[in-house]
Structure 1
Amino acid sequence: MPRSQAGQTVEPEACKLWIHCNSCCALFCDKKHTFFLLACHHVFCERCVKVSAGRTPSDAPIFECSTCRRSVRGRQLTNSMPNHFKQLFHPEPFTIGNDFVETFQRGNHRHFDKYKERKELEMDKLSKDIEVAKSVCQKRFLEAQMLRVERKKLMQRSRYIKAEVANRKAEMHRMAQAYRSRSLTSQSSSSAQCSVRGRPRGRGTATQSSSRRRSKESRESAKRQQITSFIHPPNHSFDL
């Protein structure tokens, strides 16, 4: 937009808002590009029109219209352009009594209105897409929050399981140590008993063993003295 000397933004005149490029719809009031009026009564900016030189250097350039596909002459939109061309952009065409000027401006108005309608539809579609994307993002955000909570629970559960495993390992280690200590204690007690059995016996034990030996020998001699044949009583013969 044009700016005043004080640096403040100046709104363009409403009577110039309809002047636009018939191809890219760039506005003439923005003063960003040079505009041309072609003999086919189409308006284009310098980016959307193709220019070729005339037959001689004095000839006017030839423009290739991208709307009607014709090679025609053209004029740059300036204040120094001929009056009959400049009247086409008159701010109040109804005052000059020229129907062609009104038709020209009305056609450009309709073309620009269609362009604005297309842009409005695109904006509506984009706003709907943004709403859908917003709802999807909100849904994904809630799912991510739920997953974060679930992750925290699983981490706590894993820490609890690791602690339980460590406690069980420690308990098994203590049990193994206790078992080894008991086995060592039993082995030491058994070795002590064996050493006690291997020691020489005292007098009491010797007399007991001798008495047992004597009783055993007497029993064996009694067994040997037993009669194993028939007993014959003594023969006392006498006469009757």
Structure 2
Amino acid sequence: MAGRLKGKVAVVTAAGQGIGRAIAEAFVAEGATVHASDLDRDKLADLKRAKKAKLDVRSTKAVEAYAEKIGGIDILVNVAGFVHHGTVLDCEEKDWDFSFDLNVKSMHRMIRGFLPGMLARAKEQGSSGSIINMSSGASSIKGAPNRYVYGATKAAVIGLTKSVAADFVRQGIRCNAICPGTVHSPSWETRVEDLGKTVGGKDKAMEIFVSRQPMGRVGKASEIAALALYLASDESAFTTGTAIPIDGGWTL
């Protein structure tokens, strides 16, 4: 089915690589006008047919200016995030504050900035708007070792998602969360390299990551993008307030 997002306007954060890039590319391919942002604008250079911008989602002023510039949209996808490694004993206050600021408060900023325009557009067009937040299976659904503050932030994302969904369901706005398992991406490759330093090499680290996946492999960014595309499209018009695992059976 082609043109699933034809006529829709979408905003995707952290679109420079990994899951964010795959989502932006999928949305463009399905006919959406895509506003793709990243803290490092250079990573967006080869993203075709998208409107590109540098954006620091930790800056309220920058987010508000970005939302005012773009105006009404149909789809908002909050992808930006950070994976902190460690237990509560490894989590300093600065780690806690940074993780919550980037993983949770950035979504608050983006939703607060874009929601008024989404509401107006939904009312004018008699359509629905879709907000998609990137959570995780790690600790938000299933406990994961050494993901203390990361798990706390991603659980908070689910709560935020359900609250927005409940508050605006009668005004044409849907809000859902995606909870990926381990996905092959540049950030995951960095984690593999870091783990390899302590377990005897990158190959051993890769083996450890794969061994915990019931399907025997890590996920692909394109597979997460396919779910985001469904949630962004009118096909999911009856879906809101959900936290959907897509993890190869890891949280079973």
Structure 2 length as normaliser, TM-score?
0.20
Pick the structure with more strand per residue. 2
Higher relative contact order (CA 8 A, sep 6+): 2
TM, length-normalised to structure 1: 0.21
